[in-house]
Amino acid sequence: MKLITEMNEDIKITEELNEATSEKSYFIEGIFMQAEQKNRNGRVYPKEVLMNEVDRYNKEYVAKNRALGELNHPQGPTVNLDRVSHMIKELRQQGDDVYGKAKIMDTPMGDIAKNLIKEGAKLGVSSRGMGSLKQNKSGVNEVQKDFMLAAVDIVADPSAPNAFVNGIMEGAEWVWDGGVLREKQISEYHKEISKANKAELEEKCLSVFTDFISKL
């Protein structure tokens, strides 16, 4: 499985005033994801694949107030609580699009996002998920049925997607191991060490370390 990120700048910032407390809440809303069209990263999400995953994410995350996102993408698929900036309050299908609405939270990263908005910074959203890719008959990478949405993050400079979606993040392979997502190579090292008996352990650890260094 690969870490898959997609950026979308077709969003808007809205403000809502709580009349009881006179406090302003900031929301970011618009098209968060799109199906059945080749995106700027050269990938296509079949409608059935994307909408089925959106349904699951709504039930398991949005409905339970667990749909958290970060300010900028981290280097992996998990959500880091110390970097959370917003919570998705709504995610729904509109034709081939997935419309979303997220509330910017009163967290350190949320405060940074709010200040960026106040200063007129152009922000976008970028989905982050896990899945495999397969070329279709047209030679386009098609996201497969194992796709799992992890989060939708707020990102800066939507006009430069390569700054967020290339390199190590998408080059790394990830696998499920006992319910935990691990980078594939690290997972393989872990399995090798676990299989070694006491007599082999020191030699196996040295072998794994040497192999790791050779790949840097």
190 is catalytic: no
CA separation for the pair 196, 69 (Å, rounded): 39
Torsion 129-91-32-86 (CA) sign? negative
**Strand spans (E) along 37-110:** 43-44, 68-70, 84-94, 97-104
- β-pairing verdict for 97-104 and 23-34: antiparallel
CA separation for the pair 115, 85 (Å, rounded): 12
Say whether 48 sits in a helix, a strand or coil.
helix
CA separation for the pair 17, 27 (Å, rounded): 11
CA Rg value for the chain: 20
Per annotation, catalytic residue among 85, 86, 126, 127: 126
- What H or E segment, with its residue span, contains residue 39? none
Which residues neighbour 163 within 8 Å (Cβ) at sequence distance 6 or greater?
157
CA separation for the pair 73, 112 (Å, rounded): 15
126 is catalytic: yes
- DSSP designation for 188: H
Residues identified as active-site:
73, 126
